[in-house]
Amino acid sequence: MARIALIVNPLASGVTPRRLAAVQEELAAAGEVLTLQTQRPGHATELAAHAGSDAIVVFSGDGGYNEVLNGADGSVPVGFVPGGGTSVLPRALGLPRDAREAARVVAGAIREGRTRRITLGRVNGRRFGFAAGIGFDAELVRRVDELGRAADGRRAGDLAFVRAAVALALEQRGRFEPEIEIERLGRAAFVLVANGDPYSYAGPVALRISPEARFELGLDLAAPSRVGPAAVPRLVMYLLTGSPRLRRDMLHGHDLDRIEVRCDRPLPLQLDGEDVGDVTGACFEAERNALAVLA
């Protein structure tokens, strides 16, 4: 029987005792399950690094997945069960949104030894699974975090991000000037780096900034040179469709190993939807074939 370390964030918005029991039941069909609940920020990284198991399964939101990616050594396969409000990574990997159904798929992959090797991104030494950004989207993450959490510890949802985006656009009067230099490409207003497609989700809607991006390839880049009020509707349509016809005034890169940027002033950086502070420069790198995932 396989030894399965189930790492759980009990404060993730989709994690409840009933759903946890269902996930445990499904995984038990594939092996012996040891449930490890996180107790503080960064704890999932420690648990993944010292799991001592044949497989790691994470029942959490995107922040918990990111922590596990930064603790996994690449030799133990990792599965992701949706437990957050968005849970981008398992959805982008093709897993069901329902926690029990996703756990059933992951359990089947463990039994059959079915894995998929994927690339991970890395920026300034920290890994990310699906997306990273400097500027606009990172500022949205920060503003939502500043709203705090509910009494049960849960983070604000998609509606809070929409409100933050509208407020930021109004503050800027729909204008975002170039303040980032991307080596060999040019200047940009903000930078979006994708490790797969979609970049993220707004509820059921996929945000497809780099439709060509694949988890098995390098990193993709989308960075508007500048954004004015008249360009906002086109930018929104691009985020929803990723259509090449809407890439006017957009810097773009596909299957890249390295992206170096310098900022005119300190700007927020986000990784997998987590605010990691301000940066004046960043080096994004593709860590190819870094992780075996159960999917």
Task: Please return the burial class of 40, using the count of CB atoms within 10 Å of its CB with bins 0-12, 13-18 and 19+.
Answer: exposed
| Residue 293 forms part of a structural domain | no
Domain shared by 102 and 200, yes or no: no
DSSP 3-state of 281:
strand
| Residue 120 forms part of a structural domain | no
pLDDT value for 235: 79
For the chain, give the number of residues. 295
| Residue 294 forms part of a structural domain | no
Contact 65, 295 (CB under 8 A): no
Domain count, the chain: 2
| Residue 262 forms part of a structural domain | yes
Domain shared by 101 and 146, yes or no: no
Pairing relationship of beta strands 250-256 and 219-224 according to DSSP bridges:
antiparallel
pLDDT interval class at 287 (50, 70, 90):
very high
Residue that terminates a domain, selected from 114, 142, 168: 114
| Residue 291 forms part of a structural domain | no
Query: In this model, does residue 262 exceed pLDDT 90?
Result: yes
Please state the rounded mean pLDDT for residues 264-270: 97
Percent of the chain having pLDDT more than 90? 74
Domain shared by 97 and 160, yes or no: no
Tell me the C-alpha distance between 137 and 226, whole Å: 15
Give residue 245's domain range.
126-286
Q: What's the pLDDT tens digit per position in 117-144?
A: 999 999 999 999 999 999 999 999 999 8
| Residue 51 forms part of a structural domain | yes
Whether this model's pTM surpasses 0.85: yes
pLDDT interval class at 156 (50, 70, 90):
low
DSSP 22-86: HHHHHHHTTEEEEEEE--STTHHHHHHHT--SSEEEEEE-HHHHHHHHTT--SSS-EEEEE-SSS
Query: In this model, does residue 157 exceed pLDDT 70?
Result: no
Query: In this model, does residue 114 exceed pLDDT 80?
Result: yes
Domain shared by 61 and 184, yes or no: no
CATH number at residue 92: 3.40.50.10330
Contact 64, 86 (CB under 8 A): no
Domain shared by 81 and 178, yes or no: no
Domain shared by 103 and 160, yes or no: no
Please state the rounded mean pLDDT for residues 267-281: 96
Domain shared by 140 and 218, yes or no: yes
Tell me the C-alpha distance between 30 and 196, whole Å: 28
Domain shared by 269 and 165, yes or no: yes
Tell me the C-alpha distance between 275 and 273, whole Å: 7
Domain shared by 252 and 133, yes or no: yes
CATH number at residue 249: 2.60.200.40
pLDDT value for 50: 95
Q: What's the pLDDT tens digit per position in 233-252?
A: 887 788 778 888 888 889 99
Domain shared by 225 and 174, yes or no: yes
Residue that terminates a domain, selected from 71, 89, 114: 114
Domain shared by 31 and 109, yes or no: yes
| Residue 119 forms part of a structural domain | no
| Residue 121 forms part of a structural domain | no
The token pair that represents 256 in the structure block: 């890249």
Residue that terminates a domain, selected from 64, 81, 114: 114
Task: Please return the burial class of 25, using the count of CB atoms within 10 Å of its CB with bins 0-12, 13-18 and 19+.
Answer: middle
Domain shared by 222 and 145, yes or no: yes
